[in-house]
Every structure is written in C-alpha cells, then in structure tokens.
Amino acid sequence: MCTGRVDPAFVLRAFSDGADGVFIGGCWPGECHYSTEGNYHALAMMLLTRKLLKHIGLNPERLRLEWVSASEGIRFAEIVNGVVKKVQELGPLGKNEGIDEKGLKLKLKAVQNLLPYIKLVERERLRVPSDTVEEYNKFFASDEVDRLFRELIVDKLAMSEIMLLLREKPLSNGEISERLGLSPSEVSRHLNRSVRQGIVKYDENRQRFTRAREKKGTGSEEKLGQGL
C-alpha cells in the first residue's frame, strides 16, 4: 500500500533468492497518501541498505529507488528499462564483485540476522532532521553517519558472520580470518569479547572456537544487538 512498508528484509530476501537487482518505486516526496510520509522512510531505508550492501562487497547500485506517480506511465517505462540495463551491466549478483556463492549467502544472512538491531539504530540514531530528499542524501553521505555506521553496525555485522561460521563447525582464529577476509587481530578482538559475553567458548582440546550453549530466549543474535 505504501513505499514506507518496504522493509530491508524484503530487499535482502530478494537478493538471497537470486535477484541481481531490486527496484523500488514510490510516490513523489510531498505526495504521500498517508500522513506518515512513507516515501521518506523508504528513502532512509534505501540509503542505509545501500551502505550495508557496499560494506559486504556488493555494488550499491543494485538497489534503486525512484519517484513515479500512477499517471507517469512513460517515465515508469523509461526507469524500468534503465534499471534493467544497469543490472545487465553489473551482471549476476556477486560474480562481478568477486564473491563466491557460499560467501555471498553468508554475508546476506549475517545482515538479515542483524536487521532488528540495524532498524533500531536507524530509528534511534539515524533520524534526518528535515524531510527533503536533499537533506536525506546529504545526511547519509555525511562523515557523522559513516562514524556511527562503523561504531554501531560494522563490528556487530562481523560478529554475526562469525557466529554463522561457528554454527557450521568449530573453527580456529586463522580459519575464521581466512573465510571472512579479516585480520587475525580483528577476529581475536571479536572472539575475546564474545567469550566474555558468553556467546562463544574456546575448546582447549580441539583448539577451536565454538558457539556456547544458549539459554532459552537468549540467542546469540539477541545478544549481538545489545549495547545501542
């Protein structure tokens, strides 16, 4: 019913299901049919999701938002043709970015698992002071948002990837470093913090890190989202 109802989970699900690009069409700013101005919410969602895509190694141009009204049939056709052309230039998802299928699924799943926390960050810390498209674009391109993104999201996203790897099997610091392309010291920092939080434990016999047993209702994804 409204572009504002397009959740980042829908976009990530489309990519996870094999879509090479996602197009979102919304009402022009100032012409929302609802008092909530849902198209601005969609704009914030798109800009933040683009940052997430770029961080995990995907071209952010695979996600596109355009304003088009129901009476602009010719404009809609031109936009769709442009989107199709761009996606064809980018090629299959992950291939041109140098990400293999297994690694791509891991990265997308890691973002999906962290979405409740990411949406909380957007709601509490990434609110744009005024409703204009220019202000939204300027705000999400600012150094302040880059800083908040690094401080509030990047580390937790890396830990989300690590937890997915450990769900498959116990791994050493070096094995995790190689799989994720992170430095051993960076992996150690994440693992040491997670051991203190009771999310991960170190198996002395196998010399591998494993997921700690979780109490009911206190899953690792929930713990990862703490501390906003």
pLDDT along the chain (228 residues), means of 10: 89 96 92 80 94 97 94 95 97 94 96 96 89 92 96 96 96 95 94 93 93 62 53
Of 221, 22, 210, 31, residue with least CA distance to 131: 31
List phi, psi (to 5°) of 167: -70, -30
Other CB atoms closer than 10 Å to residue 43's CB: what's the count? Answer: 24
What's the pLDDT score for residue 216? 53
Reading phi first (left if > 0) and then psi (alpha if -120 to 50, else beta), residue 198 is in left
What's the pLDDT score for residue 30? 83
What's the pLDDT score for residue 219? 54
What's the pLDDT score for residue 1? 73
> Domains of the chain by range and CATH?
1-104+135-141 (no CATH), 143-228 (1.10.10.10)
